[in-house]
Amino acid sequence: MEAVWRSSPTVRTSLIFLAVALACLAVADIAITTVHPWTEMGRLVAGIFTPNFFATENLGMALVLTVAFAILGVAIGNFLGFLLALVFHSRVVRVGCAFVRAVHELFWALIFLQIFGLSPLTGILAIAIPYAGIIAKVYAEILEEADKRPLQAVPAGSSRASVFLFVRLPDVWAHFKNYSMYRLECGLRSSAVLGFVGLPTLGFYLETAFRQGQYSEVSALLILFYVIIASMRVWMKKPLLPVYILISLLVLPWGAAKIDSANIVRFFTQDIVPHPIRTAETIDGEALAALWRWFEHLLVGQAIPGAIDTLLLTMIALVASGMLALAFFPLISPLFYGRFGRSAGHVFLVVVRSTPEYILAYIFLQLWGPSMLPAIVALALHNGAIIGHLVGRYTEEMKLRSDASHGLNLYAYEVTPRLYGQLLAFLFYRWEVILRETAILGILGIATLGFYIDSAFADIRPDRALFLILLTALLNIGVDALSRAIRARLHLRTTIEQG
Amino acid sequence: MSLIELREATAGYNGHKILHDVSLSIRQGERVALVGRSGAGKSTLLRLFYERVKGDAALVPQDFGLVKALSVFHNIYIGRLNKHSVWRNLANLVKPLQSEVDGIRPVAARLGLEEKLFDSVGTLSGGQQQRTAVGRALYQQETILLGDEPVSSVDEHQARTILESIADSKKTVILAMHDTALALEYSDRVVALRDGRVVFDETCDGMTPADLKPIYGG
């Protein structure tokens, strides 16, 4: 019997996603609306190559505060996450963690701004809370996968705490340390972006410099930021951690806003209660009817259009990220480039993945005007660089037969087929991350859910904002579940997750 | 007086029977060798014994059950984790206590591990790891020692060192063994298994490996 050619489930899934992304692209708004997009781009590029490190005396302080927020937020998140990982078998803890990590740091910051104002507590909690949820999940998975064989040889009657300390913890400790470092890198990015909502970190100065067209200052800020991230393993040493924490506590501007307990109570008992209920004297039929109108208006006018745009953008960005990752990984692979070429590739990928999506999107938005295009390019570049880096590193251990082909043949026949599953696993893993980020880009003026959330906060309607944040979180949890189902179906697995 | 008693015991995994109607009685102080081809049911029988006497027995599992990230010292110390408070255990984990080092050093020295005492187990050879696992079981203050092929990864000279130190510990010992000559030399009694049944159960006096040949289907 003649064999019939049939595509593999992996290829079929990829093609379906590609088709969905193209369909989304057909209805998405990707126009360039600025009058002179390329002249501005030229000025930016010129600025990038002429960094001015002395443009403002705030530059040093911006960086110190960015690091301080990151260190405190990640340290607290790490500690809470570790404790939660120990009780992760509880359903309540699992659901709670899924929920807090489904809400982006910037949304947390917007919420805490209502409660604590511009106090450092806002920035610290905005990082610590979602990170605790992420770290709890990852640590629980690491513990789950740890070597359990030593348990059988432990003498009967040993206390659970002793067994945990001697048998469970030592094996996972190195993984915890590695992951904490990775989280700190993420924390630095998150901290930088918090400046866009008014906290005194990098983003704040970046936005100011951009508004004034001071591109040389933008360049200096970004270059120093990359240096901090790239040198993290040099300056972040365990014995120094208490020192860093202490310094961070000391440098943060605690006087920036007074924490008022009445404010906190008001937020929870009044601000977030839907407006019709808050203003009704009694909960009667009329109040409920008003509540229904409130809900309907939010759902039809904001939630549904916001969710549609969020999903459109997510799908396009997801597929574009995958395609860029396929193009990027050879740049750092010893199978394709020599030492010199690879160094250039590494610098390129480090720069692109160290720049938060939010900042990339902000830059492109200034150049091209508000549409989905800046967001798509920013998300695809950042995520493509992250996945490209991970997959590229993976090729370092790939053993090929010595008579393997070269160039494009090697790429298409030997290398890509071997790592495509791994690449898809990383990509689907980042699906939820991309969605979370897409929603947040709305703050920049793209009509995703973040746009409506930011507007609601700006109009002092925290009840609406909170409702929309809840909805965004649910969307996130839904996409996460779908991604997990697809990964399971295609038997895709990543090694320890890369957040 | 019998210490462990099995009566027509059967055991298996996932509905697949491995042991059939095994009746055995082990007396205190006895040194028993379990022999037989691989797959005969030695490990399963050992596991069955261990389940019966868990609180009173130390185990040397076939895969050693070591914590790779910890030192030889800490792995041996795990044998007495149940004898100290959590706080003392924690203190000893952060920095080895002198009194514990003094207690564990001779155990390690006897097994030729003294120089490796503070090396992490993950960096050791298979034979050194196996000796660490034996050290942990010897250090454990239980009266019974169960070992699943405890000399499988070492040469004959080291195997003798291990078996001698086990014999000197005055514990009741049950070891699954591959090498019938060594099994006869260091045990008082040999129990042979074949296809999950006990086919031979005799004292070792005057026995030679040749006597055991038929069990292996020679």
Backbone phi and psi for residue B26, each to the nearest 5 degrees, phi listed first? -110, 130
**Interhelix angle for A105-116 vs A169-194, to 10°?**
70
* Nearest CA-CA distance, residue A237 and chain B, Å: 18
Q: Which tens digit of pLDDT belongs to each residue from A51-105?
A: 888 876 778 888 999 999 999 999 999 999 999 999 999 999 999 999 999 999 9
pTM of the model: 0.84
Q: How confident is the model at residue A133 (pLDDT cuts 50, 70, 90)?
A: very high
Question: What DSSP element (H or E) covers B73?
Answer: helix B72-77
Q: Which tens digit of pLDDT belongs to each residue from B131-177?
A: 999 999 999 988 999 999 999 989 999 999 999 999 998 889 999 99
B133: which chain A residues are within 8 Å (Cβ-Cβ)? 153
Residue A116 has pLDDT above 50, yes or no: yes
Contact A155 B142 (CB under 8 A): yes
Contact B59 A150 (CB under 8 A): no
Question: Could you give the CA distance from residue B152 to residue B133 in angstroms, rounded to a whole number?
Answer: 12
* CA pseudo-torsion sign B75, B79, B82, B85: negative
Residue B217 has pLDDT above 70, yes or no: no
**Chain A interface mutation, best of B43, B73, B81, highest count of A Cβ atoms under 10 Å:** B81
Domain B2-216, CATH 3.30.70.100 — does that match?
no
Contact A167 B63 (CB under 8 A): no
Contact A152 B70 (CB under 8 A): no
B80: which chain A residues are within 8 Å (Cβ-Cβ)? 155
Query: Which residue from A155, A159, A166 is facing B74, i.e. has the nearest CB?
Result: A166
B93: which chain A residues are within 8 Å (Cβ-Cβ)? 165-166
Six-digit token string for A352: 């692109």
Q: What's residue B37's pLDDT?
A: 86
Please check whether residue A129 is in contact with residue A108, taking contact to mean a CB–CB distance below 8 angstroms: yes
Six-digit token string for A176: 């915890």
Contact B89 A166 (CB under 8 A): yes
Residue A499 has pLDDT above 60, yes or no: no
Q: Which tens digit of pLDDT belongs to each residue from B45-59?
A: 998 899 888 888 999
Q: How confident is the model at residue B1 (pLDDT cuts 50, 70, 90)?
A: low
Q: Count of CB atoms within 10 A of residue B156's CB? A: 11
Q: What's residue B118's pLDDT?
A: 93
Q: How confident is the model at residue A497 (pLDDT cuts 50, 70, 90)?
A: very low
Q: How many residues does chain B have?
A: 218
User: Which residues, numbered 151 to 210 in chain B, qualify as contacts with chain A under a Cβ-Cβ cut-off of 8 Å?
Assistant: none
Q: What's residue A498's pLDDT?
A: 39
Mean pLDDT of A181-185: 93
Mean pLDDT of B93-120: 93
Q: How confident is the model at residue A494 (pLDDT cuts 50, 70, 90)?
A: low
Q: Which tens digit of pLDDT belongs to each residue from A16-27?
A: 999 999 999 998
B88 touches chain A (CB under 8 A): no
* Nearest CA-CA distance, residue A83 and chain B, Å: 18
Mean pLDDT of A34-45: 82
CA dihedral B52, B57, B60, B62 (to 10 degrees): 0
Q: What is the mean pLDDT of chain A?
A: 89
Taking any CB pair shorter than 8 Å as contact, residues of chain A touching chain B are: 147, 149-159, 161-163, 165-167, 170-171, 173-174
Question: Could you give the CA distance from residue A127 to residue A195 in angstroms, rounded to a whole number?
Answer: 13
B52 touches chain A (CB under 8 A): no
DSSP A34-46: -SSHHHHHHHHHH
Percent of chain B with pLDDT over 70: 99
ipTM value, please give it. Answer: 0.82
DSSP B105-116: HHHHHHTT-GGG
Residue A302 has pLDDT above 60, yes or no: yes
A159: which chain B residues are within 8 Å (Cβ-Cβ)? 81-82, 85-86
Query: Which residue from B63, B81, B93 is facing A149, i.e. has the nearest CB?
Result: B63
Q: How many CA atoms lie within 13 A of A326 on its CB side?
A: 15
Q: What's residue A54's pLDDT?
A: 83
Residue A3 is given by DSSP the state: P
Q: Which residue has the higher pLDDT, A38 or B120?
A: B120
Q: How confident is the model at residue A1 (pLDDT cuts 50, 70, 90)?
A: low
Query: Which residue from A149, A166, A174 is facing B93, i.e. has the nearest CB?
Result: A166
Mean pLDDT of B12-38: 86
Q: How confident is the model at residue A417 (pLDDT cuts 50, 70, 90)?
A: confident
Residue A385 has pLDDT above 50, yes or no: yes
User: What Rg value do the Cα atoms of chain A yield, rounded?
Assistant: 24
- The SS3 assignment for B67 reads coil
Mean pLDDT of A127-134: 96
Backbone phi and psi for residue A413, each to the nearest 5 degrees, phi listed first? -100, -30
Among residues B158, B146, B156, B142, which one has the least CA distance to residue B65? Answer: B146
Lowest pLDDT segment from A69-73, B7-11, B136-140, B178-182: B7-11
Mean pLDDT of A448-466: 91
**Interhelix angle for B126-139 vs B156-168, to 10°?**
0
Distance of CA A3 to the CA centre of its chain: 46
Lowest pLDDT segment from A144-153, A191-200, B157-166, B167-176: A144-153
Query: Which residue from B70, B77, B83 is facing A170, i.e. has the nearest CB?
Result: B70
Mean pLDDT of A209-217: 88
User: Cα–Cα distances in Å, from A124 out to A108, A132, A161, A343, A392?
Assistant: 10, 12, 30, 35, 34
